[in-house]
Structure 1
Amino acid sequence: MRANRSRIITIATILLVIAGLAGAATALIRTSRSTGGATAGRAGDRPGSIDLARSVADWTSRFGPGHGYQPPRRADREGVAQAVGLLLDGHRGQAEQLLSQRDFTLRTVVDQVSGRAFAEIADRTEEAATPRGWGRIYLDLGHGRHWSVQVPHPLSDQNSEQVGVGVLRGTPGGILVIAGAHRKSGRGDSADVAHRRDTVFDAVCAELARRGLPGVQVHGFADDSAPGYDVVASTGRGTAGRSDGRLLADALRGKGFAVCRAWARSCPLEGRENVQGGLADTEDLAFLHVEFAHAVRDDAARRARAVAAVGTITARWARGA
């Protein structure tokens, strides 16, 4: 009798242990599914968690003149731009399907520095032997999207992409559009996206302009191209951003920069032929074309001050002012 009771207790104990292990395994599977396989809870270990600046730097470091760009077809340009519009309207599934048809990916990433979540739209051919060079877009997922920062000449205008990342991080509600190749990577000027309408970059910027989003476009110049100036601030060929331009120039001056104000005097690099600025003008939309000297872009502290100055305008746009 006692032997039977001992066997029953032993069997029951084994069954309880098995049940406990099964429950723990189920919980682990659920956790793994919900976190993409990550089990650590720190921000830096979450699925899709990246240092946005480092990720962009790693990507753009592969750019170079003479290679890495293929002109997109009209259907490709319009398809990516339409997908961005769908994402802005909250139709992520449709956007993802359309992007996949154009060989783009859509994923959510969490920036370790700002702590904010962004939708990342990226060209799948980035890692290929012959990349197309059609660019990336980052959209703030946690806030209403009110403005854009555009980087048409990454690497070519050295660290202009890092200025763009800094501006995106500094103000909620932004959209960062980065060209996907060196400006001299294509045949002729085919990859110079600031001066062409037949690019994915321009199609996306045009979609944002049609939706009434103001934008700031970041450029860079060699120090001897505008002697005596750290920054050239312009509204391109339009005037809708004139008040924002004045505020930006004042903010830059307050950070210790010498600014050439293209609406007040003749400046080099005024960006009047910039096609994104031209479209903004037709939409009567604020557009700022900002050129930073190499000495500003190449120094982390000075670059941070420049980003903070631009942030005074993007914060104003985010408030709807």
Structure 2
Amino acid sequence: MGIALVGCDTATSGKGVAPPPPADLGDRVRDYADALREDAPYRPPSPEQQREFTAALAGLAATPSDADDRLRALGVAVARAVDGPTGRPYALVSTEPNAERGWGLYVVDLSRGSRVAVQVPHPANDLGTPEIGVALFRRVPGAVLAVSGTHRRVAGGAGDVARRADSMFHAVAEAHSRHHLPQVQVHGFDDDSLPSADLVLSPGAGGDGPVLDEVADDLDGSMRVCRAWAEDCGDLEGRRNRQGAVAAEHGTLFAHVEINRTTRDTPDRWEAVVRALGEALDGV
């Protein structure tokens, strides 16, 4: 499937061009992730751009016309459609892959108020995480899906949004933390990095809680789960994750989810992780 243009990065027009979205939201997200290159130009957004973007994103449901205009004035594409598998309306906001403004792709479920944020910080590097992110977005009505707009090695590592606080991805996560929106951040690791585990669950910089316990208990027996709040999970615990740190500052739930390659390559297995996360989040 060809790559769909998903934004505009021209400083002269100041207007985003929103093409019709493809029939399937998953195709859109996968194509976006597949297009990201490590040699692309990248410039972090200014504080003013961060404030305007996050405010407009938050208004997509309440003030749609105004929010769309404000986003397009930033050079960002906005499209609205209905998701086929769920029948729920959504808004998709995105910058163009590999443009200097690598601000990312965001999908907001418009069927109800936002109640959970699903984050994919390394879509081009942690293979399979974009698909898992879309599946979890569909599992929880009222979800917001955030997909980084950069390869993690862009600009000497400036594109590694999980380790940076100057990206639009982080600005959106920080806004969600201020409003106490629970967040699930999906990562992938090589099997050899922790051979004893299929899945690592961590609260990042925060403490453990009933949601992570519920997910771990649900999956025990079907896969090997490393609980970072109770045991050593090596370098996969996300303690230095910047989105997790700001969530901890605001007392907001943050789940850092690391999934090994074998599980990500096996739909039945990663779908079990999505189901367990969705069921636990549904009670939040």
Letter in 1 for 2:259: F
The yes-or-no answer on 1:60 pairing with 2:29 is no
Alignment CA distance shift 1:54-1:48 (3 Å): closer
* CA deviations over 1:163-193 (Å, ceiling 9, x no partner): 11000111211111110121112x2221011
The yes-or-no answer on 1:302 pairing with 2:269 is yes
Identify the residue that residue 50 of structure 1 maps to in structure 2. 23
The yes-or-no answer on 1:283 pairing with 2:212 is no
Quick one: distance in 1 between partners of 2:46 and 2:238?
Answer: 26
Letter in 1 for 2:223: F
Task: Kindly indicate whether the alpha-carbon contact (under 8 Å) linking 2:200 and 2:228 is maintained by their aligned counterparts in 1.
Answer: yes
Quick one: distance in 2 between partners of 1:177 and 1:64?
Answer: 18
Quick one: distance in 2 between partners of 1:93 and 1:206?
Answer: 24
Of the three residues 68, 75, 83, the one matched with 1:103 is 75
* CA deviations over 1:191-245 (Å, ceiling 9, x no partner): 0111111000000111111111111110110111111100000001112x52211
**Which stretches in structure 1 are left out of the alignment for 5+ residues?**
1-46
Structure 1 position 131, deviation (Å): 5.1
Q: Which moved more, 1:225-234 or 1:241-250?
A: 241-250
The yes-or-no answer on 1:210 pairing with 2:215 is no
Of the three residues 263, 270, 287, the one matched with 2:237 is 270
Task: Kindly indicate whether the alpha-carbon contact (under 8 Å) linking 1:171 and 1:315 is maintained by their aligned counterparts in 2.
Answer: yes
Structure 1 position 68, deviation (Å): 5.0
Structure 1 position 286, deviation (Å): 0.9
Alignment CA distance shift 1:222-1:105 (3 Å): same
Task: Kindly indicate whether the alpha-carbon contact (under 8 Å) linking 1:49 and 1:112 is maintained by their aligned counterparts in 2.
Answer: no
Quick one: distance in 2 between partners of 1:130 and 1:56?
Answer: 16
Identify the residue that residue 92 of structure 2 maps to in structure 1. 120
Letter in 2 for 1:106: V
Task: Kindly indicate whether the alpha-carbon contact (under 8 Å) linking 2:104 and 2:168 is maintained by their aligned counterparts in 1.
Answer: yes
SS of equivalent to 2:153: coil
Quick one: distance in 1 between partners of 2:219 and 2:52?
Answer: 38
Of the three residues 234, 258, 261, the one matched with 2:224 is 258
SS of equivalent to 1:61: helix
SS of equivalent to 2:201: strand
SS of equivalent to 1:139: strand
* Count of aligned pairs between the two proteins: 264
Quick one: distance in 1 between partners of 2:118 and 2:100?
Answer: 24
The yes-or-no answer on 1:312 pairing with 2:279 is yes
Identify the residue that residue 151 of structure 1 maps to in structure 2. 120
Structure 1 position 113, deviation (Å): 1.7
Structure 1 position 155, deviation (Å): 2.1
Letter in 2 for 1:66: D
Quick one: distance in 2 between partners of 1:68 and 1:110?
Answer: 33
Quick one: distance in 2 between partners of 1:312 and 1:71?
Answer: 36
**Which stretches in structure 2 are left out of the alignment for 5+ residues?**
1-19
Letter in 1 for 2:56: A
SS of equivalent to 2:213: helix
Equivalent residues in 2 for 1:159-174, closer than 5 Å: 159-174=128-143
> What is the identity percentage for the equivalent residue pairs of Structure 1 and Structure 2?
36
Structure 1 position 277, deviation (Å): 0.6
TM-score normalised according to structure 2 size: 0.88
Letter in 2 for 1:153: H
* CA deviations over 1:138-176 (Å, ceiling 9, x no partner): 111112211111110102011111111000111211111
Larger Rg: 1
Identify the residue that residue 11 of structure 1 maps to in structure 2. none
SS of equivalent to 2:240: coil
* CA deviations over 1:108-155 (Å, ceiling 9, x no partner): 1212222211111111x33xx745321011111112211111110102
Identify the residue that residue 222 of structure 1 maps to in structure 2. 190
Alignment CA distance shift 1:300-1:77 (3 Å): same
Letter in 1 for 2:247: A
